[in-house]
């Protein structure tokens, strides 16, 4: 015990133990520090090497870069001519070939507008107004035509990537107000309203999206009076909106719960009524908290729109599948289409994921 | 006018309007639907459940023949859904925990490889993966005619894996009962011995005793009961394989797809849960001289479980609901069976109502089980 009393006075006693072991100082130790660690590193590198070899072999070494379907059939690698021959169909589906500059322009305009709107400093009423008054009508006119000398194109001919973007973006944009209303209903002090809100949210969240899509496409026509038919695309869109609203409601509920009760009481003591308190005090604070998880949810819905291919809409995944079933390429391009679609989905999802992380960081540093 | 400003009266008014609107819409839909159905000569009601189904289901987790009823067909669909989701949850959880721990490894190669794994799975739609795995299986393996015989009686082809099956004539029940009894005994013995070790410090060979508790009833049953079993070995015919146990590519593709997507989500939850345990716990365990692996097992994971379980429930529910994508690759789950029934009887409303009710019911059941587990691992505050 005696030497511990000299702990402070005599630093030499502790000096050797305080120095980290020599092997911890080299960067190599992170990879090969212990035998077990070295084994893990070698195993991982082997896996990466194997996958890379497989990918490079398929994508480049054994691949056919230009040629006929017959040449592709003979080779074991990727068939690039399939993509170049089918690219326009994959992107735009059955949209009239000569008019395909329209969905292309619409898509570029949409992506550009999204890019600008992703910057928090542009947010505000003006941005919302620009979207509602300028961008969305322009997109619709470009896609549907009918005025300004553009040939009308019915929604049955819409397809490909623009359709996927539309289903997910319009879905979320319309679901947002509905979801907020549902969240408020669920938090309401009126029992009947609360029960209706809880019932809707829990039922929709308890069943798979595909069942709601089935309901919209198979069951809904039975509920419609004679002579009224609703466009199939619109029905699927409504199904996605209702589905998204229930999930948004749950996220917004989390935001509402995070607003301190004193805020509501302060509003009451100022003499504000319910809607004023919600609109001016509670919702602005709650929504700011839930923006990053909402972006995360959006990634999920962007991917979930692929399910409309099961009920027969030509979304991006569906155009890829039908392109691969083309008699000319059948059985030749088995993977090319799926891999290409996976890359496209990965690109947009990963981009939004990065954006979600950026927003989280942004709100953390500037507002808390 | 002053009545309108009474908070109670307004509350009553709002609620009446809301309920009235819902009831009105429901009534309108009901009346138009019954009129439409009558006009199209479609039967209503659930009477069809007792009628003969008459269609083949390729994969049956419970016994089924086309001569059975529609009701039985729906049960087969439910069993198939439960089978594939339960297996996906089981394998997905194990894989996910390993990947989640790997994400936090100090080895940069391992942690980045795991990150790539998670990102690749989370950023591409599950449906796309299902179609990809399915077409890979179909195109990589040879057709049935040239099936690969991996072991005697085990055939691998693009119509799946066929292997010898055990056909029990008698004795299966006795063995199952013996196994259950043995397992229960082993669990009880382990608990009692652990409690004794904690109380008295006396070590006992727990693993050996538990193994003995499981094996003893099994051996006794094997020796005493009347057991007759035959091996059903598949045979390669000209066009197809007959007999044996058939693992179909639809099932394998769905299981792989669901397992991988579940594992990516579980990995993220496990990683977040472990990171949420305060750093002081690691340092305290290190100061006590525990190596990293035992720190993780004894100190960190028990605490992380409390954070992990609620989001894990959501992931399990998602797997269960995502199993409905089976219809895209032709695995006969509940949705696909219902879809077939819908096409045969035209009774879309009833078929959809049944499968939505089943999903809802099972979702609630999963939530209840997971909430019970959550209450068990939650922090017990005195």
The residue written with tokens 């609360």 in the block is: A194
Q: Which residues of A touch B322 (CB under 8 A)?
A: 208
What mean pLDDT, rounded, does chain B reach? Answer: 83
- Per-residue pLDDT at A1: 41
Q: Tell whether pTM > 0.90.
A: no
- Are residues A230 and A298 located together in one domain of the fold? yes
Q: Is residue A187 part of a domain?
A: yes
- Are residues A145 and A180 located together in one domain of the fold? no
Q: Is residue A21 part of a domain?
A: no
- Per-residue pLDDT at A3: 45
Nearest CB to B14; choose among A190, A207, A219: A190
- Are residues A250 and A128 located together in one domain of the fold? no
Domain that holds residue A195: 167-313
Query: Helix, strand or coil for residue A90?
Result: helix
- Kindly state the helix (H) or strand (E) to which residue B236 belongs, with its residue range: strand B235-236
Q: Is residue A360 part of a domain?
A: no
Q: How many domains are contained in chain A? A: 2
- Are residues A205 and A308 located together in one domain of the fold? yes
- Per-residue pLDDT at B310: 81
Query: Helix, strand or coil for residue B162?
Result: strand
Going by DSSP bridges, is the β-strand pair B165-170/B241-242 parallel, antiparallel, or unpaired? Answer: unpaired
- Per-residue pLDDT at A6: 43
Q: Is residue A24 part of a domain?
A: no
Which 181-210 residues of chain A touch chain B by CB within 8 A? Answer: 189-193, 196, 203, 205-210
- Are residues A188 and A300 located together in one domain of the fold? yes
- Are residues A309 and A171 located together in one domain of the fold? yes
Q: How confident is the model at residue B95 (pLDDT cuts 50, 70, 90)?
A: very high
Most confident of A115-124, A175-184, B292-301: A175-184
Q: Is residue A88 part of a domain?
A: no
Report d(CA A73, CA A205) in Å as an integer. 45
Phi (first) and psi of residue A347, to 5 degrees: -55, -55
Beta bridge partners of B235: B242
- Are residues A112 and A187 located together in one domain of the fold? no
Report d(CA A184, CA B19) in Å as an integer. 16
Q: Is residue A329 part of a domain?
A: no
- Kindly state the helix (H) or strand (E) to which residue B241 belongs, with its residue range: strand B241-242
- Mean pLDDT, range B3-16, rounded to an integer: 78
- According to CATH, what is the number of the domain B70-145+247-377? 1.10.3720.10
- Are residues A118 and A145 located together in one domain of the fold? yes
- Are residues A172 and A199 located together in one domain of the fold? yes
Q: Flag the least confident range among A15-19, A52-56, A113-117.
A: A15-19
Put simply, whether A31 touches B (Cβ < 8 Å) is: yes
Terminus-to-terminus CA distance in chain B, angstroms?
Answer: 55
Selected for mutation to probe chain B from A211, A224, A254, A307 (highest B CB count within 10 Å) is: A211
Q: How confident is the model at residue B1 (pLDDT cuts 50, 70, 90)?
A: low
ipTM score: 0.83
Say if the Cβ atoms of A208 and B324 lie within 8 Å.
yes
| CA B295 to each of CA A71, B38, B105, B289, B378: distance values in angstroms, whole numbers, following the listed order | 58, 69, 13, 9, 20
- Per-residue pLDDT at B126: 92
Going by DSSP bridges, is the β-strand pair B160-163/B154-157 parallel, antiparallel, or unpaired? Answer: antiparallel
Å between A282 CA and nearest CA of chain B: 21
Selected for mutation to probe chain B from A202, A307, A317, A320 (highest B CB count within 10 Å) is: A307
Say if the Cβ atoms of A222 and B33 lie within 8 Å.
yes
Å between A10 CA and nearest CA of chain B: 23
Residue A128, C-beta contacts closer than 8 angstroms, at least 6 positions apart: none
Report d(CA A354, CA A360) in Å as an integer. 10
Put simply, whether A118 touches B (Cβ < 8 Å) is: no
Percent of chain B predicted with pLDDT > 70 = 95
**Cβ A140 vs Cβ A170: under 8 Å:** no
Å between A101 CA and nearest CA of chain B: 27
Percent of chain A predicted with pLDDT > 70 = 90
pLDDT in tens, A323-334: 888 777 777 777
- Are residues A177 and A249 located together in one domain of the fold? yes
Q: Flag the least confident range among A323-327, B183-187, B293-297.
A: A323-327
- Are residues A246 and A212 located together in one domain of the fold? yes
List Cβ<8 Å contacts ≥24 apart for B226-229: B226/B170, B226/B171, B227/B170, B227/B171, B227/B174, B227/B175, B228/B168, B228/B169, B228/B170, B228/B171, B229/B166, B229/B167, B229/B168, B229/B169, B229/B171, B229/B172
Å between B67 CA and nearest CA of chain A: 27
What mean pLDDT, rounded, does chain A reach? Answer: 81
Say if the Cβ atoms of A349 and B124 lie within 8 Å.
yes
- Per-residue pLDDT at A257: 83
**Cβ B162 vs Cβ B234: under 8 Å:** yes
Query: Helix, strand or coil for residue B289?
Result: coil
Q: Is residue A8 part of a domain?
A: no
Q: How confident is the model at residue B369 (pLDDT cuts 50, 70, 90)?
A: confident
Other CB atoms within 10 A of residue B166 CB: 10
């Amino acid at each position: 015990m005696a030497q511990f009393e000299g702990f402070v006075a005599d630093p030499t006693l502790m000096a050797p133990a305080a120095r980290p072991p020599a092997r911890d100082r080299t960067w190599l130790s992170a990879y090969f520090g212990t035998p077990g660690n070295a084994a893990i590193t070698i195993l991982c590198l082997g896996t990466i090497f194997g996958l890379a070899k497989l990918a490079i072999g398929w994508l480049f070494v054994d691949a056919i870069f230009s040629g006929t379907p017959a040449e592709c059939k003979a080779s074991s690698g990727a068939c690039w001519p399939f993509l170049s021959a089918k690219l326009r169909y994959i992107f735009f589906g059955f949209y009239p070939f000569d008019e395909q500059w329209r969905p292309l322009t619409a898509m570029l305009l949409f992506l550009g507008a999204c890019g600008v709107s992703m910057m928090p400093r542009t947010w505000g009423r003006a941005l919302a107004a620009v979207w509602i008054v300028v961008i969305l009508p322009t997109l619709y006119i470009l896609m549907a035509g009918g005025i300004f000398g553009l040939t009308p194109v019915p929604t049955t001919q819409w397809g490909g990537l623009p359709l996927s973007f539309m289903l997910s973006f319009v879905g979320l944009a319309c679901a947002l107000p509905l979801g907020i209303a549902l969240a408020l209903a669920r938090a309401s002090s009126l029992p009947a309203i609360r029960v209706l809100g809880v019932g809707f949210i829990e039922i929709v969240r308890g069943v798979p999206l595909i069942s709601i899509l089935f309901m919209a496409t198979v069951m809904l026509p039975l509920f419609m009076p004679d002579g009224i038919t609703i466009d199939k695309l619109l029905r699927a869109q409504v199904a996605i909106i209702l589905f998204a609203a229930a999930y948004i409601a749950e996220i917004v509920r989390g935001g509402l719960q995070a607003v301190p009760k004193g805020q509501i009481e302060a509003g009451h003591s100022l003499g504000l009524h319910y809607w004023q308190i919600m609109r001016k005090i509670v919702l602005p604070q709650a929504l700011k908290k839930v923006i990053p998880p909402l972006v995360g949810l959006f990634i999920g819905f962007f991917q979930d729109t692929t399910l409309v291919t099961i009920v027969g809409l030509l979304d991006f995944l569906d155009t890829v599948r039908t392109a691969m079933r083309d008699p000319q390429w059948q059985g030749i391009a088995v993977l090319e289409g799926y891999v290409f679609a996976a890359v496209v989905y990965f690109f947009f999802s990963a981009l939004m994921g990065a954006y979600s992380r950026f927003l989280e960081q942004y709100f953390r540093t500037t507002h808390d | 006018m002053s009545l309108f400003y009474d908070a109670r009266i307004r509350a009553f008014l709002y609620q009446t309007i809301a309920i009235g609107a819902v009831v009105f819409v429901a009534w309108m839909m009901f009346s138009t639907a019954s009129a439409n159905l009558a006009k199209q000569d479609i039967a209503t009601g659930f009477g069809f459940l007792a009628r003969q189904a008459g269609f083949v289901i390729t994969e049956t987790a419970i016994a089924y023949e086309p001569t059975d009823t529609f009701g039985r067909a729906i049960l087969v669909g439910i069993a198939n859904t439960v089978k594939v989701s339960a297996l996906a949850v089981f394998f997905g959880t194990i894989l996910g925990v390993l990947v989640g721990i790997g994400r936090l490894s100090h080895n940069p190669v391992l942690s980045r490889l795991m990150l790539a794994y998670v990102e690749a799975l989370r950023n591409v739609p599950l449906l796309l993966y299902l179609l990809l795995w399915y077409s890979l299986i179909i195109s990589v393996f040879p057709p049935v005619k040239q099936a690969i015989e991996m072991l005697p009686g085990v055939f691998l082809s693009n119509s799946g894996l066929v292997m010898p099956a055990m056909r029990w004539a008698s004795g299966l029940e006795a063995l199952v009962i013996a196994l259950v009894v043995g397992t229960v005994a082993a669990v009880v013995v382990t608990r009692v011995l652990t409690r004794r070790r904690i109380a008295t410090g006396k070590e006992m060979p727990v693993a050996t005793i538990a193994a003995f508790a499981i094996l003893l009833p099994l051996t006794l049953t094997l020796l005493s009961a009347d057991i007759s079993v035959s091996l059903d070995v598949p045979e390669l015919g000209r066009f197809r394989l007959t007999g044996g146990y058939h693992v179909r590519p639809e099932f394998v593709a769905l299981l792989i797809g669901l397992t991988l997507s579940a594992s990516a989500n579980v990995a993220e939850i496990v990683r977040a849960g472990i990171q949420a345990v305060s750093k002081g716990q690691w340092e305290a365990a290190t100061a006590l001289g525990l190596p990293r692996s035992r720190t993780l097992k004894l100190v960190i994971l028990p605490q992380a479980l409390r954070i992990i379980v609620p989001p894990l429930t959501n992931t399990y529910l998602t797997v269960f609901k995502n199993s409905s994508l089976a219809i895209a690759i032709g695995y006969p789950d509940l949705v696909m069976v219902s879809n077939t029934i819908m096409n045969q009887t035209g009774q879309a409303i009833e078929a959809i109502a049944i499968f939505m009710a089943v999903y809802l019911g099972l979702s609630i059941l999963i939530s209840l089980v997971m909430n019970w587990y959550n209450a068990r691992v939650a922090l017990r505050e005195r």
